[in-house]
């Protein structure tokens, strides 16, 4: 088989790239190591920046999102006895959209199937060959049978544990990482959200986040020890701890119920440089990870897709290679800004081991400054709704 672009990874970033390229008549093959149902079963974030929403529109897959999503014009910050709102629309003229990543992925799979674009599931032993040559190709196995696909370019959208980043020699790539000394225990429950907007809560017991997927599906998180296991926490214990960390009025109106999903996610900041090696391009979690505090994981992947999509269209329509030559540079410039914001939000709201009394006083003062300064709130809002591409 031969296609123009092989996309490794059938998550939202790979699917979005495939759909955008299809709109321009560029032939792609998506290779996914799991089943479609497995990918759709993964519970992920649901806060989408303006740029992501616009890419979905450009890809022609935004109708259900526009019909069923929730527009959030702001968020709530609380810290001990302080509570205040950040009005994104008043500060930036923009908002974010709440629409579950699972639903984004479903829409993209349905669109890909509708146009007959090629997707292969249950792939094993995927290998990238000749990425630093003019004739790259990818081999993979399905049910023990090996296949080869020749291509012009390879997009590595296969996540942190995928093979794409590992295909770049250690002599070429450099990795930067910060591991945080805590995790997030999250649950999903079929209950109405406690608030119309997300609540980011810092307290002496640790961080908590009140989020949502739709009008009767809520997502809640609490900071926990890395030594904890999800099964250590009963639903009752989780709800009790959440109530202790969020504002009192929110705790009073919180509707609790049985969890339908419960898991612990460790937090890390990670960047791989460069994001391009020859004709291989890294996108999303294959190249960078952020702590989820700033809702930037999927959104930063979308900015990668924006740069790569336009670079590939430029090559195929004009023969100009400036876009692909500068892909890594452009993508990383924005990646490091989102890394800074996610690190800052995490540092601002979490309790860290060995924080001194001085550290805690400074943390509280920074929250108070954010509460009282429109300029500081504007900086947060600009980053939260999404920096320009």
**For residue range 352-369, what is the model confidence (pLDDT) as tens digits?**
999 999 999 999 999 999
Question: Who's near 21: CB < 8 A, 6+ residues apart?
Answer: 4, 5, 28, 309, 312, 313
Residue environment code for 233-253, b if the CB has 16+ CB neighbours within 10 A, otherwise e: beeeebbebbbbbbbeebbee
In the chain, where the domains are located: 2-75+97-178+268-348, 183-266+352-385
Kindly tell me if the per-residue pLDDT of 340 is higher than 90.
yes
Do residues 139 and 146 lie in contact, with contact meaning Cβ atoms separated by under 8 Å? yes
Kindly tell me if the per-residue pLDDT of 134 is higher than 90.
yes
- Whole-number Å distance between alpha carbons of 220 and 274: 35
**Averaged pLDDT, 124-151:** 97
Structure tokens at 136: 């790259």
Structure tokens at 79: 């810290």
Cis amide prior to 309 (ω within 30 degrees): no
Inter-helix orientation angle 12-23/297-318, to 10°: 30
Q: How do residues 305-332 score in pLDDT, each as one tens digit?
A: 999 999 999 999 999 999 999 999 999 9
Read off the pLDDT band of 225 (50, 70, 90).
Answer: very high
3-state secondary structure of 241: helix
Q: What are phi and psi of 153, to 5 degrees?
A: -145, 155
Query: Whole-number mean pLDDT of the chain?
Result: 96
Q: Above pLDDT 90, what percent of the chain?
A: 95
Residue 41 is predicted with a pLDDT of 82
- Whole-number Å distance between alpha carbons of 293 and 290: 8
Same fold: 2-75+97-178+268-348 with 183-266+352-385: no
Do residues 164 and 282 lie in contact, with contact meaning Cβ atoms separated by under 8 Å? yes
Q: What are phi and psi of 317, to 5 degrees?
A: -90, -30
Structure tokens at 189: 């429950």
Q: How do residues 55-65 score in pLDDT, each as one tens digit?
A: 999 999 999 99
Q: Above pLDDT 70, what percent of the chain?
A: 100
Do residues 154 and 164 lie in contact, with contact meaning Cβ atoms separated by under 8 Å? yes
Q: How do residues 184-200 score in pLDDT, each as one tens digit?
A: 999 999 999 999 999 99
Read off the pLDDT band of 213 (50, 70, 90).
Answer: confident
The CATH topology of domain 2-75+97-178+268-348 is FAD/NAD(P)-binding domain (3.50.50)
Do residues 74 and 367 lie in contact, with contact meaning Cβ atoms separated by under 8 Å? no
Task: Please give the class, per CATH, of domain 183-266+352-385.
Answer: alpha beta
**Distance of CA 182 to CAs 158, 240, 350, Å?**
25, 19, 9
| C-beta neighbour count of 81 within 10 angstroms | 8
Residues that are catalytic: 72, 200, 292, 296, 384
């Amino acid at each position: 088989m031969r296609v123009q672009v092989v996309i490794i990874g059938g998550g939202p970033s790979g699917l979005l790239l495939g759909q955008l390229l299809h709109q321009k008549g560029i032939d792609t093959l998506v290779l996914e190591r799991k089943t479609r149902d497995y990918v759709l079963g993964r519970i992920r974030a649901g806060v989408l920046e303006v740029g992501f929403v616009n890419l979905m529109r450009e890809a022609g897959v935004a109708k259900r999102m526009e019909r069923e999503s929730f527009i959030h014009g702001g968020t709530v910050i609380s810290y001990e006895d302080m509570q205040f709102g950040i009005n994104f629309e008043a500060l930036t003229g923009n908002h974010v959209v709440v629409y579950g990543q699972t639903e984004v992925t479903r829409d993209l799979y349905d669109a890909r199937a509708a146009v007959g674009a090629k997707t292969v599931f249950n792939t094993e032993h995927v290998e990238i060959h000749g990425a630093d040559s003019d004739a790259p190709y990818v081999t993979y196995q399905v049910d023990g049978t090996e296949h080869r696909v020749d291509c012009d370019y390879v997009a590595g959208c296969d996540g942190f544990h995928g093979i794409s980043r590992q295909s770049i020699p250690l002599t070429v790539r450099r990795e930067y990482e910060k591991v945080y000394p805590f995790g997030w225990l999250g649950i999903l429950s079929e209950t109405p959200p406690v608030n119309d907007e997300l609540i980011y809560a810092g307290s002496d017991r640790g961080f908590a986040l009140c989020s949502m997927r739709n009008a009767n599906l809520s997502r809640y998180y609490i900071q926990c020890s890395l030594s904890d296991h999800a099964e250590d926490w009963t639903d009752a214990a989780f709800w009790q701890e959440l109530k202790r960390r969020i504002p009192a009025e929110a705790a009073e109106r919180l509707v609790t119920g049985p969890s339908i999903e419960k898991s612990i996610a460790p937090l890390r900041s990670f960047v791989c440089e460069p994001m391009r090696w020859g004709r291989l391009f890294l996108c999303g979690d294959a190249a960078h990870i952020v702590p989820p505090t700033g809702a930037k994981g999927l959104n930063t992947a979308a900015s990668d897709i924006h740069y790569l999509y336009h670079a590939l269209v430029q090559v195929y329509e004009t023969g100009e290679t400036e876009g692909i030559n500068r892909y890594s540079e452009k993508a990383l410039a924005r990646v490091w800004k989102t890394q800074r914001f996610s690190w800052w939000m995490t540092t601002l709201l979490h309790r860290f081991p060995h924080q001194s009394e001085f550290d805690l006083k400074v943390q509280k003062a920074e929250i108070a400054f954010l509460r009282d300064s429109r300029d500081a709130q504007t900086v947060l809002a600009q980053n939260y709704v999404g920096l320009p591409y």
